Structure formats: C-alpha cells, structure tokens
C-alpha cells in the first residue's frame, strides 16, 4: 500500500515531467542558449583598438514603410517578376520588387524618373506607418560605431541635409563642407517573413530600396572626403556608396571611379580601408569596381546577392547562385567564393601590390570572415560580434534569448567544398579553419522571429566586425620577387 505522501510526490513528478515535455525548453532552445552563452565567452575586444575612424561618402534620410502597403497605396497590383537595372515606371518597380520579394533577397535600384519618384515618396509619407531614420550605408556605419564604441572619434563626410543633421549623434564630427541645403531621401520597402504578394510568399524578412538623388548618385563628396583625411589622422577608413553611381553614364562612372582610386592611393599604407558593397545590377560597373577598386582597399564587406553577382560577372565559382539561388546559399559555396576573392583580388602573383587582406560575408543566417592572418587577428571575436549584433539589432533588444530568435543554418554542413560534412555544436558556435595561407571564421546568426527593422543590418554588422578586428598597422604588402 502506497502512502498518501508517496502518491502525492508521484503526481507532482508526473506533472513536472509533462510540463517540461510540452512547455519546457526544446533541444533547439538549448542549442540557441548554448550559442548565446558561448558568444559571451568568445567575444573579446582587440588589445589594440581603432581610435580615429573616417567614414564616407553616402548619406540620406531613409523613409521606411511596409512595401506591400505602399504598393497598394499606389494602386499597383501583383504581376510579372523581372529584374531591371534601373526603374522609371510603377510597372518596373512592381516587377523588380516582386522578383526579390519572392527570393527573400535584399536589393537596391536607382529610380530614374525624378517626378514619379517624388510622387512615390509623397505616397510613402502619407502612410501612418512611415518612419524616418538615418540612411545611407556610410552614415549608418558612422552611427553604429558611435553607439557601440563611444570612445572612438568619428569624422563623417557625406551629403548631410537639415533633417539628417538632426538625426546624427552630436559626437560625430561633420565638416562644414559636408553640409547641404536639402536632404536626399531614400525609400525602404520592408517585408516580413510569410508576407504574401500575389502568389508569392517571402521566405525571409528583408527589404527593397529605391532612390533618386543627385549628390550620392554622382559621389559628389569623394573629393571632400579625401581632402578631409589630411587633418584628421584616421587609423581606419570606412567607405561605401559606390552602388549609388549606377545611374551615371559609363564615361562619367569611369571618371568618378578614377577619382576614388586616386584618393585611395593617397591613404597611407598603414591605415586600413574598408569598402562596403551594396546591391548593384550593371555587370560592367561592378566589374570596374572589382578590378580597379578592390586592390586599393584592405577589407571588403558584402552579402549573398553581392558576392553571387561578383562571382557571376568575374568568372568566379558557383556562378549558378546569382540567378538560381532561392533562400540562403550553402555555407561551403560562400566559403569557396571568399577564397576566390582573396586569391583573385588580394595579393597574388598577378596583383603584387594589392592591399586586400580581409573579406567579411554577412547574410541573414550566417557570417564568414576570411583574412590574411599576418594582417588581421581577433577574427573569431569579430565574426561572433557581428552575428550577435545582427540578432540584437533586428529584434531591437540588448540581449538575445532563445524565445525571440531562431537558428536557421542546417545542423550538418561543409565549411568548404573539399571539407567533410560536420555536425554543428551550439557550445562551439565559432568555427575556424585555414586554406591556402588564409584564415577563416564562421558563426551562425540567431534570426529574429519578429524583426523590428531590417535596413542597415549589413552596415552595422560590418562596422562592428571591423572594430572587433585587430589590424597590424606594421603589415606591408609583400614586394614582388
């Protein structure tokens, strides 16, 4: 005969077991909790930090709206999907938006018709859900460095109008030559995972960006930016905005690119220069950037669309990803493409004077950083800091938890094509390996379930990864034999 106390204890134990089985942490939650805990241990600031950072050259005020809501307000209905290098009609806007929406890929296109673009902006401004934020890759990088590294002195050069000047932190130094009378305005059409447009349901949360401006589109601030370096004494240079020049005629694009290259050649060799790419559509323009600009920068940041397009236009590996990719690309294929970039555009027998020593790939679900280890260290901390920030910023929280974010990578994968498939261990979320003299580090993103804001993630991630990286200022490009 069982005692009443024993029966009571059994009932409590069975109740606790049932609760934990149905309501307790799942195996996936435990993996995510392990990742968060391990990041805390892994991430360490470099022993030698960047103290003076110069940032340029694109800036604007971002109008952020739900993309489908704006299309509905413009009486645009779902239709065909097609990519257009630039936009000049509502039908091209619809087709290009629909294409990248169906893929869940971020994209950016220039809007050539100024009058129609103003009409679209007015429709966006009339929506109750519209929000205004700091915009432009360079301005976003400056803002993120300012917020995360308050002891770092920042100088920003870009077209800063009255609205943007109010939004920028006072701690960011803006030379008088950078101030303009009127803000450039960019339109950010966001969408959430599971949103439907016609017959398409987007697989991830992302955004489509369009704009029509003059200063950014002609990179008018390039000369001002490089002139401003003379008195600032930067130990790190962050550059972005080249994609905005896609609206230029080919000869003018080449001229502005030459101004950039001349400016980069004037930056002292001990000062690293990071270039952040953004979505482009013109093959010859991107090819020009790869060939003429990459050998003059130390570090490159890019996402899945940009790396796939780069590989496609320059005969790199896995070219099928550019037009055939749906969702997130396989980890080993991205690793192969990073190696290709470092071999092709970094120091090699063909490019004996290239400065390129670092590539930071970032996507919704994972990041990989590849470096020449004699130039960059603390790479594991840098990739972990970037992936951790991605989840925090998307969820708009200071601390992540397993309840608000998901792990989207497969639990079995290869790190590069010749690798053997391995099982992911949440207690070791940063994986590193060496190939052909280059060092690589990988870490997954905990993807926010209900993202508050997707725009600017890549810029924030890249700038954070850079500030957690340690650069050897004594590094010199090897002399050709």
Active site residues: 459
Indicate the length of the chain as a whole number: 481
- The single-letter DSSP state of residue 214 is S
Give per-residue burial for 13-24: e unless 16+ CB within 10 Å, then b. Answer: eeeeeeeeeeee
**Tokens 């052909």, located at residue:** 436
Element (H, E) at 50: none
Q: How many angstroms separate the Cα of 90 from the Cα of each of 66, 76, 231? A: 17, 7, 46
What pairs with residue 110 in β-bridges? Answer: 86, 211
Whether omega for the bond prior to residue 57 falls within 30 degrees of 0, making it cis, is yes
Quick one: how far is CA 339 from the chain centroid? 19
Quick one: how far is CA 99 from the chain centroid? 20
Query: 3-class SS at 20?
Result: helix
Give the C-alpha separation, 283 to 294, whole Å.
Answer: 16
∠ CA 439-442-445, nearest 5°, is 155
Q: Classify residue 399 as exposed, middle or buried by CB count within 10 Å of its CB (0-12, 13-18, 19+).
A: exposed
Give the C-alpha separation, 479 to 481, whole Å.
Answer: 6
């Amino acid at each position: 005969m069982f005692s009443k106390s024993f029966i009571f204890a059994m009932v409590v134990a069975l109740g606790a077991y049932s609760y934990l089985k149905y309501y307790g942490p799942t195996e996936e939650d435990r993996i995510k909790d392990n990742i968060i805990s391990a990041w805390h241990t892994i991430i360490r600031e470099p022993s030698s930090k960047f103290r003076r950072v110069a940032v340029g050259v694109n800036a604007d005020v971002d109008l952020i709206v739900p993309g489908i809501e704006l299309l509905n307000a413009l009486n645009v209905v779902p239709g065909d999907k097609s990519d257009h290098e630039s936009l000049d009609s509502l039908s091209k806007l619809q087709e290009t938006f629909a294409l990248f929406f169906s893929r869940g890929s971020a994209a950016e296109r220039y809007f050539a018709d100024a009058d129609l673009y103003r009409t679209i902006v007015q429709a966006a401004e009339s929506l109750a859900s519209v929000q205004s934020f700091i915009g432009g890759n360079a301005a976003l990088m400056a803002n993120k460095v300012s917020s995360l590294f308050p002891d770092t002195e920042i100088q920003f050069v870009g077209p800063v109008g009255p609205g943007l000047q109010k939004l920028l932190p006072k701690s960011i130094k803006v030379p008088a030559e950078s101030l303009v009378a009127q803000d450039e305005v960019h339109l950010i059409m966001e969408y959430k995972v599971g949103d439907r447009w016609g017959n398409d349901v987007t697989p991830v949360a992302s955004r489509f960006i369009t704009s029509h401006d003059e200063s950014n589109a002609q990179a008018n601030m390039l000369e001002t930016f490089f002139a401003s370096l003379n008195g600032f004494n930067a130990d790190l240079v962050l550059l972005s905005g080249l994609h905005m020049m896609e609206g230029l005629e080919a000869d003018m694009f080449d001229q502005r690119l030459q101004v950039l290259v001349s400016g980069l050649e004037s930056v002292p060799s001990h000062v690293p220069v990071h270039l952040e790419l953004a979505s482009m559509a013109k093959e010859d323009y991107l090819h020009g950037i790869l060939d003429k600009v990459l050998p003059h920068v130390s570090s490159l940041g890019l996402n899945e669309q940009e790396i796939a397009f780069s590989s496609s236009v320059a005969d790199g590996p896995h070219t099928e990803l550019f037009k055939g990719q749906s969702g997130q690309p396989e980890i080993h294929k991205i690793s192969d493409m990073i190696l290709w970039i470092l071999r092709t555009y970094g120091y090699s027998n063909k490019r004996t004077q290239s400065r390129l020593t670092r590539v930071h790939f970032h996507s919704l679900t994972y990041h990989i950083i590849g470096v020449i280890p004699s130039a960059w260290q603390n790479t594991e901390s840098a990739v972990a800091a970037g992936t951790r920030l991605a989840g925090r910023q998307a969820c708009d929280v200071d601390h992540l938890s397993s309840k608000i974010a998901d792990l989207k990578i497969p639990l079995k994968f290869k790190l590069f094509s010749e690798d053997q498939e391995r099982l992911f261990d949440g207690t070791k979320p940063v994986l590193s390996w060496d190939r052909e003299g280059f060092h690589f580090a990988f870490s997954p993103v905990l993807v926010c379930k209900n993202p508050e804001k997707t725009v600017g993630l890549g810029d924030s991630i890249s700038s954070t990864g850079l500030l957690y990286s340690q650069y050897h200022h004594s590094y010199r490009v090897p002399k050709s034999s």
